[in-house]
Amino acid sequence: MPYLDHAATAPVLPEVVDAVATALRETGNASSQHTAGRAARRRVEESRERIAGTLGAQPSEVVMTSGGTESDNLAVTGFFRARQAADPRRRRILVPAIEHHAVLDTVEHLAAREGAEIGWLEVDDFGRVHADTLAAAIAEDPQTVAVVSVMWANNEVGTVNPIRELAAVAHAAGVPLHTDAVQAVGQLPLDFAACGADALSLSAHKFGGPTGVGALLLRRDAVVEPLLFGGGQERGVRSGTLNVAGVVGLAVAAESAVGDLSSQSARLTGLRDELIAGVQAQVPDAALSGDPGQSLVDGGPSRLPGNAHLRFPGCEGDSLLMLLDAHGIECSTGSACTAGVSRPSHVLIGMGVPEDDARGALRFSLGSSSTAQDVEAVLAVIGPVVERARKAGQAAAARRARVAAAAERP
């Protein structure tokens, strides 16, 4: 069965399974002082060193978390609260409206409960934040900016942001920058020291590691307020008993993914481009969302190598998804479903895509297990699937029109 949803979660690498299984056979709390505890601590610290070496960080900058959502929450909330405590004027959070909800929901919570003001950063038609856009937003009132958060690569459309340039702009105004790099690790060249970000979020299950474990790379001089309190683990920033086996799996996955980055990136780019060209040959009006991927950003691709995000006019994404699933092809839509009501992707809407076009979006995301046969399987059925989905879309549009007409009646 072709699995083209690596951006949601990637298959666990065999070497990770072996490493985690071995670690699970060992007993010991990494905070305990006895022999078993010290052995567990050693496994954690060795893994921390491997993660740091792989991602261009210092071991002391690797803060273990439960994954990308916690890392995003910790960075954004932690910076905001720390900066507010030091200077109450620091109330503005600058963020694009197309971030992952782990960031968006956090800033909206801070605005509703803690007096934060959200400054929405404009994006271009590809979904990219430009340095001059950030500079202008900061310049509106530099003394009030608490933190900037811009994702390294968008999880839906795959566009890569110029994090090094954005960090330089933020630092020139004395403002910390956080980047959600959950989609970037294992797909793009990534060096924490060189990128300039003050904090960087990552999650193991996006690049072949286990679920439920991740990290926040946090510069030693960065000051954040913790969200969790208790044992004071992880520099006092993230209390809680460490998931030793998960941390081991994270380290192995990161080394494997980054070590094979060059060849894997080239392979995935080829498959991605073949998929996009093949789909558009059969469905000429299918539109690619995001950066075309023909240029460089911060020394790497301008689009995630494994991301193909396409919009099919006249279709509902959910219909496309289920029709492909019936053919054994697993991918995802560009929309979120809340309380059973399908809604257009906030990312596409934030990029200026009309709502009707945004409804017919599909994201094919390739990774370590993807093959040419997977692409061929999609191309073998995409034409009839779109034709059938369009018929369903016409019926859905007619229903919406009837409901709207009924609502307007006195």
Q: pLDDT 10s per residue in the chain (410 long)?
A: 899 999 999 999 999 999 999 999 999 999 999 999 999 999 999 999 999 999 999 999 999 999 999 999 999 999 999 999 999 999 999 999 999 999 999 999 999 999 999 999 999 999 999 999 999 999 999 999 999 999 999 999 999 999 999 999 999 999 999 999 999 999 999 999 999 999 999 999 999 999 999 999 999 999 999 999 999 999 999 999 999 999 999 999 999 999 989 999 999 999 999 999 999 999 999 999 999 999 999 989 999 999 999 999 999 899 999 999 999 999 998 654 443 456 789 999 999 999 989 999 999 999 999 999 999 999 999 999 999 999 887 877 777 778 887 777 76
Distance from C-alpha of 205 to C-alpha of 367, rounded to nearest angstrom: 12
Residue 325, number of CB atoms within 10 A of its CB: 12
Q: Is the distance from CB of 213 to CB of 238 less than 8 angstroms? A: no
Residues that are catalytic: 337
Distance from C-alpha of 174 to C-alpha of 182, rounded to nearest angstrom: 25
From 210, 241, 257, the end of a domain falls on: 257
326 lies in which domain range? 261-408
Distance from C-alpha of 121 to C-alpha of 195, rounded to nearest angstrom: 20
- What domain count does the chain have? 2
Same domain, 149 and 277: no
Same domain, 101 and 228: yes
What integer pLDDT is reported at residue 408 of this predicted model? 78
Same domain, 111 and 32: yes
From 257, 289, 308, the end of a domain falls on: 257
Same domain, 18 and 54: yes
Same domain, 269 and 246: no
Nearest to 183 by CA among 307, 329, 7: 7
From 208, 229, 257, the end of a domain falls on: 257
Same domain, 245 and 267: no
Same domain, 220 and 130: yes
Q: Is residue 364 part of a domain?
A: yes
State the angle between helix axes of 244-259 and 261-282 in degrees (0 to 180), rounded to the nearest 10: 70
Q: By 3-state DSSP, what share of the chain in percent is helix, strand and coil, each rounded to 5?
A: 45, 15, 35
Q: Is residue 290 part of a domain?
A: yes
Q: Is the distance from CB of 102 to CB of 68 less than 8 angstroms? A: yes
Question: Rounded to two decimals, what is the model's pTM?
Answer: 0.94
